Amino acid sequence: NAGVTQTPKFRVLKTGQSMTLLCAQDMNHEYMYWYRQDPGMGLRLIHYSVGEGTTAKGEVPDGYNVSRLKKQNFLLGLESAAPSQTSVYFCASRPSGSNNEQFFGPGTRLTVL
Amino acid sequence: AQSVTQPDIHITVSEGASLELRCNYSYGATPYLFWYVQSPGQGLQLLLKYFSGDTLVQGIKGFEAEFKRSQSSFNLRKPSVHWSDAAEYFCAVGAGNNDMRFGAGTRLTVKP
pLDDT one-digit tens code per residue, B9-39:
999 999 999 999 999 998 877 789 999 999 9
- Report pLDDT for B64: 98
| pLDDT tens, residue by residue, A83-106 | 999 999 999 999 987 777 899 999
pLDDT value, residue B100: 84
Q: Cβ separation of A99 and B94 shorter than 8 Å?
A: yes
Could you tell me which of B21, B26, B46 has the C-alpha nearest to residue B36? B46
- Mean pLDDT across chain B: 92
With CB atoms and an 8 Å threshold, state whether B102 touches A42.
yes
Q: What are phi and psi of B90, to 5 degrees?
A: -120, 130
Distance (Å, rounded) from C-alpha A112 to C-alpha A102?
Answer: 28
**Which positions in chain B touch A38 (Cβ < 8 Å)?**
none
* Biggest alpha carbon–alpha carbon distance for chain B: 42
The whole-number average pLDDT for the span A48-55 is: 94
Binning chain A into helix, strand and coil, the percentages to the nearest 5 are 5, 55, 45
Percentage of chain B exceeding pLDDT 70: 97
pLDDT at residue B96, as a whole number: 66
The minimum CA-CA distance between B35 and chain A, rounded to whole Å, is: 11
Which residue in B32, B41, B45 is closest to A100 by CB distance?
Answer: B32
3-state helix, strand, coil in chain B (%, to 5): 10, 55, 40
Residues A74, A49 contacting (CB under 8 angstroms): yes
- Could you give the 3-state DSSP secondary structure of residue A2? coil
Contact B4 A99 (CB under 8 A): no
Position B94 scores a pLDDT of 84
The stretch B40-60 carries a mean pLDDT of 91
Whether residue B97 has pLDDT greater than 90: no
CA-based nearest distance B69→chain A, Å: 18
Indicate the pLDDT class of residue A6, thresholds 50, 70 and 90.
Answer: very high
On chain A, the residues whose CB falls within 8 A of the CB of B45 are 104
| Average pLDDT for chain A | 94
Any residues with CB less than 8 A from the CB of B73 and at least 6 apart, and which?
B22, B23, B24, B25, B66, B67
Give the per-residue pLDDT at A78: 96
End-to-end CA distance of chain B: 41
Q: Can you count the helices (H) and strands (E) in chain A? A: 0, 11
Residues 6+ away with beta carbon under 8 Å from B3? B25, B26, B27, B93, B101
* Mean pLDDT confidence for A49-57: 94
B51/A99 touch (CB, cutoff 8 Å), yes or no: yes
SS3 A64: coil
pLDDT at A108: 95
Average pLDDT of the segment spanning B42-67 = 93
pLDDT value for B18: 97
